[in-house]
Amino acid sequence: MAMGKEEVEIVKARIDKRQYRRIVLRNSLEVLLISDPDTDKCAASMNVAVGSFSDPDGLEGLAHFLEHMLFYASEKYPVEDSYSKYIAEHGGSTNAFTASDQTNYYFDVNPDGFDEALDRFSQFFIKPLMSADATMREIKAVDSENQKNLLSDAWRMNQLQKHLSAEDHPYHKFSTGNWDTLEVGPKAKGLDTRLELIKFYEENYSANLMHLVIYTSESLDTIQNLVEEKFQDIRNIDRSSFHCSGKPCKSEHLQILVRTVPIKQGHKVRIVWPVTPEIRHYKEGPCRYLGHLIGHEGEGSLYYILKTLGWATSLSAGEGDCNLDFSFFEVVIDLTDAGHEHIQDVVGLSFKYIELLQHSGVCKWIFDELSAVCETKFHYQDKIRPIDYVVNTASNMQLYPPRDWLTGSTLPSKFSPSIIQMVLDDLSPNNVRIFWVSKFFEGDTNMAEPWYGTTYSIERITDSLIQEWILSAPNERMHLPAPNVFIPTDLSLRNVQEKVNLPVLLRRSPYSTLWYKPDTMFSTPKAYVKIDFHCPHAGDSPEAVVLTDILTRLLMDYLNEYAYYAQVAGLYYGINHTDSGFQVTLLGYNHKLRILLETIVEKIAIFKVKSDRFSVIKETVTKEYQNFKFQQPYQQAMYYCALILQDQCWPWMEKFEVLSHLEAEDLDNFVPKLLSRAFLECYIAGNIESSEAESMIQHTEVVLFKGSKPLCQPLFPSQHLTNRVVKLERGISYLYPSEGLNPSDENSALLHYIQVHRDNFKLNVKLQLFALIAKQPAFHQLRSVEQLGYITVLMQRHDSGIHGLQFIIQSTVKDPRGIDQRVEAFLKVFENKLYEMTADEFKSNVNTLIDMKLERHKNLREESAFYWREIYDGTLKFDRRESEVAELRQLSQQELIDFFDEYVKVGAPQKKALSVRVYGNLHSSEYKADNSESLEPGSLKIDDIFIFRRSRPLYGSFKGGFGHMKL
């Protein structure tokens, strides 16, 4: 029984039609019930106020390890992994994460499976089983997860900041755990990790430290009965929530400059101050206010000055690591080579901007503007997936009073100059920690962080030294931002005359096509615009690809000071390079969207290369190519697979090679050629009338195609581009082995791809159904049982309308050939399970997939992405989901088995398979052996990707260009 359904007013968005109720069970578990009659998915999240800060000394990672272990089994449901299996079989997903002061467990599922899924979930917190066998295997999984992070700069730098803090403070700890902390170390001390795990669970997991969110389509009363029945047996041992005593940084950890060596190329400076946590003053929003100003990118801002000087390529500011007891405010700046050489000036200018804020005083108009932007954003927020909504809300419940569970700290509403000033005063030279990151420090450091091996050195920096830097920094005119003209004032909804449920071809001309879809679902004052520039010269050589990429970055760069205000006001834009040209995308409040679009089109029309900005962008792109070799091995495997399959795909090495020779004049000469012939494929959706949509594209055509000296000419019929995919040969298993690009990376990876068919509703649903049925068993066998590696997935693959399956596995325990053998062994075992599936099981899986397909889009972005994919691929099957559901309803179990036998089964005569094997340094000898071994019959090794690609036929494209649309 609930102790009472205390009626608390919970602040919700104006457009939010969901119902909410807070209850507290008799065991003190606090619960938020959410009823949403429109939802297609149910979800739950349990937030436990116990995280890695609670790890016992010498058992680092125990809280994270417990998070892994609770998924396995419980007394009520003792079959290992049956929880994950049940969730997968009912169209759902499940996961968890461990933070410093909380662990969050969550799942979503189709409505018909929610009751039992919730029962299984509740048993995590009532009577979990933590078997000895599972314990050992999951320690390996935690270690594999840590292996994945060892060469990640984000993880390394985060741990270095923690390492340089008070050793007796929990912030100092290593949080994820590994083989040494969970197996070797405890064993050496005579400890049994499993017994320590059970003890940790029993001493820390208490109902009074838990917050549960339930999201379903049922009524609040029905949900309440369900929750009371399933969660009242969680023990309440009245644990106090964890609090840190003392501060993480003592005097010796402040006023320091830390030079450190990253894995990747590039320079970064992170300026950090310990501050009062904003959670204590979330209505006043001091960190939000200061982050808004210090992180601003408009004219006169810190970033604008650094960018103008050619010293920075990005800047962010705001609260970083934080909880109720302590917090850090961070300014993170990505530096150019020149910026690295001027680090004292960069730091000096940063403090100069803080001095400007001190002299300007706390401005009410800026706070009011920020508050108005936040309020509009909250009240017109998009619906998101229930699983994401429950996780966010459950985390908020630990921190905020019930009234603010949905808002969190997103609605600063109390103007308090004194509180903002208090945090601003913390941003002082005598309170600072500066982390300066660069490859240039290699060989010049004298210390190493113990968990990741990050090398660093420390120098003391005094208040007076920073004052010198401030005085010697360039005397640039910094000023506060101007009032934001992009804040929408018209949030009314347009009257849509026709209820159009699918996109319609609204307009076609020699220059463009316009697909249009008014908002009939979401009732928000937002719009989505996509203009895809098809330019035949964009992809015809590695030089062209690189120059088109630089062009899009420069356009974004030139727009930034003006359009940053639009982003602050909730109107987002992007200009991105594609295989066939580039795309302009806008998404946000429709009121001032057209102003921004016309500015972007104008920028394209009058584009001129600025040589100083070209140099900065070229340097950035160069570092990205240099860092390619530091990608995770599974990402390298995905790259090779794309290179093998996609006809218009240039290798990164060729692009890198040409990049070094390119100069500003090359881009100047290229842009007129690039834009000389173009065709615009456009999609406009949301709160926009058809006449307005047409007018926007007509204006774009006038600017680009119809002036006295038109920039663009329409394409000839022969110039319409298509994305074509290599057709693998039936009955052949292709193999592409490669050594990992980073000799320091121990991880190997396999991508095992099975090419199946060209888009076809009947074959699509067979493939989807197989993937649904096989996904969780593959994960359980290859990850949980065999412990091949933390990254283990079976997923569908789509390339321009060509469908297939892929297994992606990253591992240190087996070489790629060995992993490949395990994938085939799994398929052989799974074959029997598929054949032995009962009629009821088959029907249940079909119904699950139907429910997943009929799930409605949550917001305009999601809906637009779905329809844009149809336009971009040229398939134009806007009613795809309904058509595939119709095929599913007709599908027989024998047809699924026949599909498996023909396309997927090991040794199937029609099967088309490709194994991309990337060998890490632990398996270099296996690479040499595998490379020299003779191949099995029916196998073919790809020695040269481009010779292979030229030798194979291509699938026909769905995109015949201008003539492919049926009217």
Q: Which residues are catalytic?
A: 67, 138
DSSP character for 184? I
Q: How far apart are CA 319 and CA 733, in angstroms?
A: 52
**Residue 312, H or E segment:** strand 312-322
Under 8 Å between Cβ of 22 and 8: yes
The helix/strand/coil state of 394 is helix
Distance CA 147, CA 168 (A): 26
User: For tokens 């917001």, what's the residue?
Assistant: 859
Strands 732-739 and 912-919, how do they pair? parallel
In whole angstroms, give the CA distance from residue 109 to residue 90: 6
In Å, how far are 186, 267, 302, 615 from 312, measured between CA atoms? 46, 9, 10, 12
Between helix 343-360 and helix 463-472 the angle, nearest 10°, is: 90
d(CA 116, CA 475): 66
934 dihedral zone (left: phi>0; alpha: psi -120 to 50; beta): beta
Tokens of 8: 């608390």
Instruction: State how far the Cα of 513 lies from the Cα of 962, in Å rounded to an integer.
Output: 9
φ/ψ of residue 599, rounded to 5? -65, -40
Closest C-alpha among 598, 189, 686, 259 to residue 441: 259
Nearest one of 450, 509, 566, 431 to 681, comparing CA atoms = 509
The strand pair at 526-534 and 455-460 is best described as unpaired
How far is 295 from 254, CA to CA, in rounded Å? 23
Please state, in angstroms and rounded to a whole number, the distance separating the CA atoms of residues 525 and 717: 39
Q: Got the DSSP string for 579-644?
A: TTEEEEEEEEESTTHHHHHHHHHHHHHT----HHHHHHHHHHHHHHHHGGGGS-HHHHHHHHHHHH
Contact indicator for 784, 81 with CB cutoff of 8 Å? yes
| Amino acid at site 208 | N
Q: How would DSSP label each residue in 63-106? A: HHHHHHHTTTEESSS-STTHHHHHHHHTT-EEEEEE-SS-EEEE
